[in-house]
């Protein structure tokens, strides 16, 4: 890919909270080509808060030491105008975690400030085609806030990490019916990524025997849908929280 690669414009990818554990793991997958493909050059924009800039400098140096063939540039900054400038994709990992004794309203207020500001930065500095994945919890709420304050960017360009719960629900139904996940459609997830999140199959369908039928009709097992199906979704969330 020699000459073409040297002249190809890189995909500019923002990771917020990049000095944290999740961001730290994510940047290496992006730099290796696991996310955008093994023939797509990338430039990383890494954003974190001022006290984490020393750590972020270490991340930058480690990425440079790896000499990833696809990695054209690594920008580290604590300034949104620099971080969001001309980006093609954004992984919004950084968010206020819920600390012991913190009221839910205080958590929401703190995240409103973060994602309101980042939404405005997207609107002002990012490409209008930017794709945004909100990872920081409460992901659904944060994605909604972010998109509200980026009115020039299509709502369809925003996705919340609740996609994980959506995929988990689809995978459960597919496994139960010995189908491929691609044969399960119209799954709905209500609520944020939490123990109160609810996977809803009331509109879901599956492809079976050459036709599309409702999940309820295909399974004929309401007890499973009301117990094990929901419980596995919640236990997956509990496991995920303990792993990180």
CA distance 15 to 90: 6
Q: How many of the other CB atoms lie within 10 Å of CB of 193?
A: 21
CA distance 157 to 133: 8
Annotated catalytic residue within 45, 166, 193, 234: 193
Helix axes 104-125, 139-148, angle to 10 degrees: 40
Q: Is 91 helix (H, G, I), strand (E, B) or coil?
A: strand
The dihedrals phi and psi of 98, each to the nearest 5 degrees, come to -80, 115
185 labelled catalytic: no
The dihedrals phi and psi of 97, each to the nearest 5 degrees, come to -75, 155
Residues annotated catalytic, as ranges: 193
């Amino acid at each position: 890919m020699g000459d073409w690669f040297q002249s190809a414009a890189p995909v500019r990818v923002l990771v917020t909270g990049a000095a944290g554990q999740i961001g730290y793991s994510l940047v290496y997958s992006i730099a290796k080509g696991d996310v955008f493909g093994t023939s797509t050059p990338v430039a990383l924009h890494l954003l974190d808060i001022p006290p984490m800039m020393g750590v972020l400098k270490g991340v930058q140096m480690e990425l440079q030491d790896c000499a990833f063939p696809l990695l054209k540039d690594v920008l580290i900054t604590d300034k949104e105008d620099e971080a969001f400038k001309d980006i093609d994709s954004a992984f919004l990992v950084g968010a206020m975690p819920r600390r012991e004794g913190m009221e839910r309203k205080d958590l929401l207020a703190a995240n409103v400030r973060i994602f309101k500001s980042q939404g405005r930065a997207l609107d002002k500095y990012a490409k209008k085609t930017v794709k945004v994945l909100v990872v920081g919890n409460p992901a659904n709420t944060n994605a909604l806030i972010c998109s509200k304050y980026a009115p020039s960017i299509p709502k369809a360009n925003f996705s919340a990490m609740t996609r994980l719960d959506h995929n988990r629900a689809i995978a459960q139904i597919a496994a139960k019916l010995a189908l491929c996940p691609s044969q399960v459609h119209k799954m709905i997830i209500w609520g944020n990524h939490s123990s109160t999140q609810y996977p809803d199959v009331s509109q879901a369908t599956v492809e079976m025997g050459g036709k599309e039928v409702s999940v309820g009709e295909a399974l004929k097992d309401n007890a499973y849908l009301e117990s094990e199906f929901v419980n596995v979704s919640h236990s997956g969330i509990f496991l995920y929280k303990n792993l990180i």
